[in-house]
């Protein structure tokens, strides 16, 4: 577990991802992976100090944990990066849960007087990819597309196993 937030850390997330990919392959169920990065987090640390930055990270971990289903996974995978796994969840299900999650983050963080936004890349795998690293790379790439287009949004995609590319991309 991550010592600051109490949620899973990168290593535990990788184990959960490998398990979820195997489960998805066995049961032929979709799996959605979302990668979330806080926008301009360095400004919070520089303006208000690292203690306040830590408070924001803990608040975000709490909101994520409270918003997802018990069968889903949330982890802090980097300084201001989080990953979410949604087993048995297709693109429309992911859009629904991530829309709700994004709304909760905006309402609760802005009510505390903090203007915190995040960029999210979410990819649905109707069939699992070759590896967990490939899955993370694809979700991370989608998240960076959001960053380059102005931040504070969600990019959704569906991975086409036959071509090895993301299709049905929506920002």
Q: Please give the positions annotated as active site.
A: 80
Separation between Cα atoms, residue 73 and residue 151, nearest integer Å: 24
Separation between Cα atoms, residue 123 and residue 125, nearest integer Å: 7
Q: Please write down the HEC assignment for all residues of 67-130.
A: HCCCCCEEEECCCCEEEEEEECCCHHHHHHHHHHHHHHHHHHHHHCCCCCCEEEEEEEECCCCC
Buried b or exposed e, range 118-142, using 16+ CB within 10 angstroms: bbbbbbbbeebbeebeebbebbbeb
Q: How many CB atoms lie within 10 A of CB 29?
A: 17
Task: Give the SS3 label for residue 33.
Answer: strand
């Amino acid at each position: 577990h991550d010592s600051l937030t109490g949620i899973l850390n990168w290593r535990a997330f990788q184990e959960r991802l490998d398990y979820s990919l195997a489960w998805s392959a066995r049961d032929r169920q979709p799996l959605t992976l979302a990668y979330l990065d806080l926008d301009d987090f360095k400004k919070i640390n520089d303006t208000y100090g690292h203690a306040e930055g830590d408070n924001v990270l803990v608040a975000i971990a709490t909101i994520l944990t409270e918003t997802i289903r018990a069968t889903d996974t949330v982890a802090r995978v980097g300084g201001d990066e989080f990953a979410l796994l949604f087993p048995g969840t297709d693109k429309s299900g992911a859009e629904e849960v991530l829309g709700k999650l994004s709304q909760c983050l905006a309402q609760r963080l802005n009510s505390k007087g903090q203007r915190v936004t995040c960029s999210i890349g979410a990819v649905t795998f109707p069939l699992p990819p070759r590896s967990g690293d490939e899955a993370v790379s694809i979700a991370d790439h989608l998240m960076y597309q959001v960053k380059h287009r102005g931040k504070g949004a969600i990019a959704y995609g569906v991975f086409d196993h036959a071509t090895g590319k993301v299709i049905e991309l929506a920002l």
